[in-house]
């Protein structure tokens, strides 16, 4: 038994960021009980501190997994860290920090219980970090469930708002179905290969001793489970309702952190499937259909949404569709896995930056800013900075250079062209032309229309310093990684 200690201590060290977040999450819950009511505002700073410590642990204590270095395994291969995971975890922590920064006023106005809110937020972020790194079937399931359950509560936490409760219930009901599919898929894959660890499964796939039919069913069922979490069509039905009903801060976390973690996990699964010579058949077709359906459903659905959060929900469905384009390609072309990984990694960053901005503005604007797009009329006059930030988010989501959205999309479609999936690229591009229409509508409303009646007008609100800081930092990121490509990704 003694020889296990070094490995366990090494594993503990490598998962230090996750451990930090567990401690911080529990710490916030305890502090909520201990602190007098008047100083509960400390909780947000406490949770920010937790995220900051996790960030330090990730980047400076554990350190990056080199781009070409061998993946690091911990807990006997259950979790692993590589370039994609490291990037995803950084993005998730940044998203968590952003959500915490824009939360205080929002949460205060709605009388959301602070301890539960921040505590669960930290645990959700923790679950995301773990999910992104999971490379074992049951660990994937457990982390996904842990993440889901915290998000169900965070969605319904605004207990004075019926819509919040409704959204949580829908999310929970449909999420449980999806989890069941995922578990069933896991059972099939296990049945076909007799293994649960990805590296062991890969060996079975390479040897060709797996049962092909069970395996195909298993992978497809797992795709359903992931499709739900990533709000890929046709498993997207819940997304608009949940995004609309959930507190906007929670919605922004669901739209960004959850998806980043989910994409990293899905990427590992597809990477695994790519090792299987039959994957290029049925599973490939399923993934292709899902990508195409998401791009079309998302972009067409968003056009008719009068509500800003519903529109963003559909937009996020479309962007999930774009993001799995490289995965579709690499399933048929395993030689492009490295390019696909880089494209997905960069797009996770790009998508998170611009989506946080797009959700951040409604969150900062408060109640009126969260409903109809028409209420943004004339925003450029009352809150020039918020209007600018929102316009920037829209331009970046459209994929107009020189914003980060363009470079993200450029790489996704570059992989598709490189892998000779010209039609997928053409359809994706046409879908994003359609997206231009509804993103522009927000800009038109803010800059070119005046409120029809006095009641339509959003009250002008002063930005508090923390909100302004979060939005500014995010806006800078829209250009930063473009000007200094080598800083982050290309030169690593």
425: Cβ–Cβ under 8 A, 6 or more apart, which residues?
A: 325, 413, 416, 417
- Sketch the per residue contact string, 373 through 412, with another protein: x for CB under 8 A, - otherwise: ----------------------x--x-xxx---x---x--
Q: Which is nearer to another protein, 472 or 485 (CB)?
A: 485
Q: How far is the CB of 288 from another protein (least distance, A)?
A: 18
| Residues 155, 254: Cα–Cα separation, whole Å | 9
Q: Is 448 a residue that touches another protein (CB under 8 A)?
A: yes
Looking at the Cβ atoms of 289 and 433, the one nearer to another protein is 433
Return the residue of 26, 69, 303, 417 that touches another protein, per CB under 8 A: 417
- For residues 315 and 243, the answer to whether their CB atoms sit within 8 Å is no
| Contact between 147 and 258 (Cβ < 8 Å) | yes
Separation CA 128–CA 435 (nearest Å): 29
Could you tell me the smallest distance in angstroms from the CB atom of residue 91 to another protein? 19
Name which position in 196, 432, 467, 475 contacts another protein (CB under 8 A): 432
CA distances from 63 to 72, 288, 311, 461, 481 (A): 11, 36, 38, 41, 21
Determine which residue in the list 49, 214, 374, 440 makes contact with another protein, applying CB under 8 A: 440
Q: How many CA atoms lie within 13 A of 468 on its CB side?
A: 8
Q: Cα–Cα distance between 185 and 288 in angstroms, integer?
A: 19
348 within 8 A of 411, measured Cβ to Cβ? no
Q: Mark 239-278 with x for binding to another protein (rule: CB under 8 A) and - for no binding.
A: ----------------------------------------
Q: 105 vs 381, which CB is nearer to another protein?
A: 381
Question: Which of 13, 41, 45, 490 is the binder for another protein (CB under 8 A)?
Answer: 490
Distance of alpha carbon 194 from alpha carbon 173, whole angstroms: 31
Please list every residue from 168 through 197 that binds another protein, using CB under 8 A. Answer: none
Q: Which of 69, 162, 422, 476 binds another protein (CB under 8 A)?
A: 422
Q: Which two tokens stand for residue 378?
A: 């004339």
Does residue number 429 form part of the binding site for another protein (CB under 8 A)? yes
Residue 364 corresponds to which tokens in the numbers above?
């900062």
Min CB(427)–another protein separation in Å: 11
**Nearest approach, Cβ of 490 to another protein (angstroms)?**
4
| Closer by beta carbon to another protein, 30 or else 303 | 303
Report the alpha-carbon distance of residue 142 to residue 106 in Å, rounded: 31
Among 162, 430, 476, 487, binds another protein (CB under 8 A): 430
The number of angstroms, rounded, from the C-alpha of 159 to the middle of its chain's C-alpha atoms is 25
> Which H or E element spans position 476?
helix 465-483
Distance CA 66, CA 79 (A): 16
Beta carbon of residue 306, minimum distance to another protein (angstroms, whole number) = 17
Residue in 56, 200, 385, 436 binding another protein, rule: CB under 8 A: 436
Answer whether 118's CB lies under 8 Å from 153's CB. Answer: no
Q: Which residue, 276 or 439, has its beta carbon nearer to another protein? A: 439
276 CB-side CA count, 13 A: 30
Beta carbon of residue 444, minimum distance to another protein (angstroms, whole number): 6
Site membership for another protein, residue 413 (CB under 8 A): yes
In this complex, which beta carbon is closest to another protein, that of residue 107 or of residue 442? Answer: 442
Nearest of 291, 284, 268 to residue 135 by alpha carbon = 268
Angle, CA 180 vertex, CA 178 and CA 186 arms, to 5°: 105
* Through-space distance between the first and last CA atoms of the chain, rounded to whole angstroms: 39
Closer Cβ to another protein, 371 or 418, answer by number = 418
Q: Identify which of residues 314 and 438 has a Cβ nearer to another protein in the complex.
A: 438
Determine which residue in the list 36, 455, 465, 491 makes contact with another protein, applying CB under 8 A: 491
The secondary structure of the chain in percent helix, strand, coil, rounded to multiples of 5, reads: 80, 0, 20
| Total residues binding another protein (CB under 8 A) | 32
What's the min distance (Å) between Cβ of 278 and another protein?
A: 27
Q: If binding is defined by CB under 8 A, does position 472 make contact with another protein?
A: no
425 scored as a contact of another protein (CB under 8 A) = yes
- List interacting residues with another protein (CB under 8 A): 342, 395, 398, 400-402, 406, 410, 413-414, 417-418, 422, 425-426, 429-430, 432-433, 436-437, 440, 443-444, 447-449, 485-486, 489-491
């Amino acid at each position: 038994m003694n020889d296990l200690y070094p490995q366990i201590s090494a594993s503990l060290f490598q998962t230090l960021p996750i451990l930090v977040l567990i401690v911080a999450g529990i710490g916030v819950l305890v502090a909520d009980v201990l602190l007098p009511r008047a100083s509960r505002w400390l909780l947000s700073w406490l949770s920010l501190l937790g995220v900051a410590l996790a960030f330090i642990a990730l980047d400076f204590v554990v350190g990056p997994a080199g781009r070409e270095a061998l993946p690091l395994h911990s807990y006997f291969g259950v979790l692993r860290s590589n370039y994609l995971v490291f990037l995803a975890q950084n993005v998730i922590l940044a998203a968590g920090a952003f959500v915490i920064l824009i939360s205080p006023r929002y949460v205060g106005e709605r009388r959301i219980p602070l301890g539960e809110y921040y505590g669960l937020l930290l645990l959700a972020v923790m679950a995301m970090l773990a999910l992104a790194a999971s490379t074992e079937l049951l660990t994937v399931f457990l982390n996904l469930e842990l993440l889901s359950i915290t998000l169900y509560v965070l969605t319904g936490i605004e207990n004075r708002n019926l819509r919040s409760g409704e959204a949580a219930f829908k999310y929970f009901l449909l999420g449980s179905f999806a989890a069941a599919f995922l578990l069933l898929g896991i059972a099939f894959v296990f049945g076909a290969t007799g293994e649960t660890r990805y590296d062991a499964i890969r060996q079975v796939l390479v040897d060709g001793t797996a049962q092909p039919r069970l395996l195909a069913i298993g992978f497809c069922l797992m795709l359903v489970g992931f499709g739900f979490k990533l709000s890929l069509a046709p498993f997207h039905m819940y997304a608009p309702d949940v995004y609309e009903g959930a507190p906007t801060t929670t919605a922004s976390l669901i739209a960004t952190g959850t998806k980043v973690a989910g994409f990293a996990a899905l990427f590992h699964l597809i990477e695994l499937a790519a090792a299987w010579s039959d994957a290029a058949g049925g599973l490939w077709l399923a993934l292709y259909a899902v990508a195409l359906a998401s791009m079309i459903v998302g972009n067409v659905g968003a056009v008719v949404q009068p509500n800003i959060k519903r529109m963003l929900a559909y937009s996020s469905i479309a962007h999930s569709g774009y993001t799995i384009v490289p995965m579709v390609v690499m399933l048929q072309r395993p030689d492009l896995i490295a390019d696909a990984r880089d494209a997905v990694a960069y797009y996770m960053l790009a998508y998170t930056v611009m989506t946080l901005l797009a959700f951040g503005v409604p969150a900062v604007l408060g109640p009126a800013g969260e409903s109809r797009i028409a209420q943004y009329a004339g925003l450029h006059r009352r809150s020039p900075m918020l209007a600018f930030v929102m316009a920037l988010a829209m331009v970046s989501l459209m994929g107009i250079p020189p914003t980060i959205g363009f470079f993200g999309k450029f790489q996704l479609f570059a992989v598709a062209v490189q892998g000779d999936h010209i039609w997928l690229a053409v359809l994706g591009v046409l879908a994003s032309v359609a997206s231009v229409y509804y993103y522009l509508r927000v800009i038109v409303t803010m800059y070119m229309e005046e409120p029809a009646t006095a009641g339509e007008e959003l009250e002008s609100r002063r930005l508090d310093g923390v909100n302004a800081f979060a939005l500014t930092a995010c806006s800078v990121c829209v250009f930063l990684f473009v000007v200094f490509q080598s800083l982050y990704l290309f030169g690593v």
